[in-house]
Structure 1
């Protein structure tokens, strides 16, 4: 199972995530306490190995905003919550949906991320949704990513129930609203472990 550590804000956090085996690094460009500038992201991720993908997180952005930031921050993928202004972008798209979006519209996106219903911000709220209620039967061709309230304590459970392509964590690896390097390490270790039978 692949793992995305989202909402990274410092080079130290990026380095810790890469060192402990993260597959994806998420950087927030939408309005949020974790929002960064494209220049800062490019600077922080200069040494990130090619195999680790850098993802920009947006909420209902214009296509031109997304394409500009892809160039400025040197992103590998984008994750879009809210309104989708374009069917495709110059990099692969992760379509982020709230689990309360009962209609899963046909999508060109190869990756579909399910998160708990939004509160103040679309994502990163640390809320778990009912995994048992998620019907993925229409989405067998898609790479499913699960987010929302994941921690080192429950990540094996979501693996058992939904067997997603990837999991996405942000607040679950924080202490007092800031990324905690030990929690990043613990989460990655647990997520990558074989399932306990």
Structure 2
């Protein structure tokens, strides 16, 4: 997939929208009316976790124009490839529990990407803790198709300091990435101003711990204004 390192902030393309952590059939019904570019099924331990059976059911109901992303933390390559081969997911998103991007950690995670590359051509998103500028810059040569810049604790619903992105770009970072962590209707315009490849939302789409279709509609309305 990595045809170019040209980022959408350079190409001035409208960002993609990913609605993550869907777990109910009514969530799918809602996104099928909104048509975000991606939805996310969380297979890692989380309040939003779904089983393989649940995910397969949800994918069967999903509009074919929407790509399903599988979110993983430590699951085996065999488990991930099984979900790809069965058509449950279209993209792979890999997280890591270690927020420090040491050389050893980087090598280990890139080896995992290589192991998946040997088994599937499915695009791979590498999620990182954007807890400082060096952590972001360290990903410049990652073999992942896309990056996802998140808070040090993914799924926390909290933003990281987005100035890190600005400073990393000034230092030469030009990779395509999803911006994640604490994005909601109140700060979406500011997130879009960073011109990421995509915006990843989860907790910002929820009320009382469940996806709220009204909030999902609100997000798409804000996005439509930025696309016109």
TM-score (norm 1): 0.88
**8 Å CA contact 1:27, 1:54 repeated in 2:** yes
Deviation at 1:21, TM superposition (A): 2.6
Aligned CA-pair RMSD: 1.9
**8 Å CA contact 1:9, 1:27 repeated in 2:** yes
Closer, same or farther: CA 139–192 of 1 in aligned 2, 3 Å: farther
Residues matched between the structures, number: 190
From 172, 183, 186, the equivalent of 1:153 is 186
CA distance in 2, matches of 1:151, 1:47: 26
- Bigger Cα Rg: 2
Higher normalized helix content (fraction of residues)? 2
Aligned to 2:177: 144
**8 Å CA contact 1:20, 1:189 repeated in 2:** no
From 155, 162, 182, the equivalent of 1:131 is 162
Deviation at 1:72, TM superposition (A): 4.0
CA distance in 1, matches of 2:142, 2:85: 24
CA distance in 2, matches of 1:39, 1:72: 11
Deviations, residues 112-163 of structure 1 (Å, cap 9, x unaligned): 1000111xxxx221101111122135442x3210000000111111111x11
Aligned to 2:3: none
Deviations, residues 45-79 of structure 1 (Å, cap 9, x unaligned): 21323321000000133211211222345210011
TM-score (norm 2): 0.77
Q: Which deviates further from its counterpart, 60-69 or 50-59?
A: 60-69
Q: Which stretches in structure 2 are left out of the alignment for 5+ residues?
A: 1-14, 97-107
Aligned to 2:127: 96
Aligned to 1:31: 45
CA distance in 2, matches of 1:80, 1:19: 28
What SS does the aligned partner of 1:45 have? helix
**8 Å CA contact 2:41, 2:50 repeated in 1:** yes
Runs of at least 4 residues off by over 6 Å: none
Deviation at 1:25, TM superposition (A): 0.6
Q: Which stretches in structure 1 are left out of the alignment for 5+ residues?
A: none
Q: How does 1:1-197 map to 2 (within 5 A)?
A: 1-72=15-86, 74-82=88-96, 84=109, 85-87=112-114, 88-89=116-117, 90=120, 91-100=122-131, 102-103=134-135, 104-105=138-139, 106-118=141-153, 123-134=154-165, 135-136=168-169, 138-140=172-174, 142-160=175-193, 162-194=194-226
